[in-house]
Amino acid sequence: MQISEDVCHAVILADSRGNYARGLPNVGPNNVIVYRCNHERAGYFCSREERQIEFKTLDHEHFMREALREAELAGLAGETPIGAVVVHDGRIIGRGRARHVERHSEIAHAELNALLEAENYIRDHIHAGVVLYTTVEPCVMCLGAVVMSDVDHIVFALADCNIHPEQMLEMPYVRRHIRDYLGGILAAESRELFRRFRPQEIMFFESNATS
């Protein structure tokens, strides 16, 4: 299989026993990067197979387009064009976009804002199957917030070559929470938003990618 230049970094792979190996990412159709952790997590009220089937049946492009809409709104407001949505049971339960300028805060990331909007619903109603869609690969801060929010799956568009999540993803505590780490969904659309609103920052995202 030919690996696209859009693939920025290796992704940790896991076998059915949760044993990890470093190497090339598992690249599916359209250069989608897949990280999967096949472990059991205490406290779930549905089987691993049921959770995985639910995730596989989601229309990832549909929900990523919703995240892209949030990213465009951020760009129009003079913010970094990054957006995110939180999904459960096929519906959006939280939306967020970068609000650094508006809130005078460097931690007002899109992912955090989406998680904050969804947190009450997650706490009161959900035991499994939550998905975060974000237009850029989560930073270390946001990845930690995803873990603490009991989100099972992360789907992103643009990979960030400054982010090397392998060591964090293989930590036992993180492995108990994150089941899928999937990238490359509508990456070109996310890249185009940076070209439109923040061309000076495109170098930070998939710096090895071709136009």
CA distance 125 to 145: 19
72 annotated active-site: no
- The token duo for 145 is 């917030």
Annotated catalytic residue, options 54, 72, 111, 137: 111
Distance in angstroms between the alpha carbons of the first and the last residue of the chain? 21
Beta strands of the chain (E only): which ranges? 13-14, 20-21, 26-27, 33-36, 83-88, 91-97, 131-136, 153-158, 180-183
Task: List CB contacts of 202: < 8 A, sequence separation 6 or more.
Answer: 191, 194, 195
Helix, strand and coil content of the chain, in percent to the nearest 5, comes to 40, 20, 40
Catalytic site residues?
A: 111
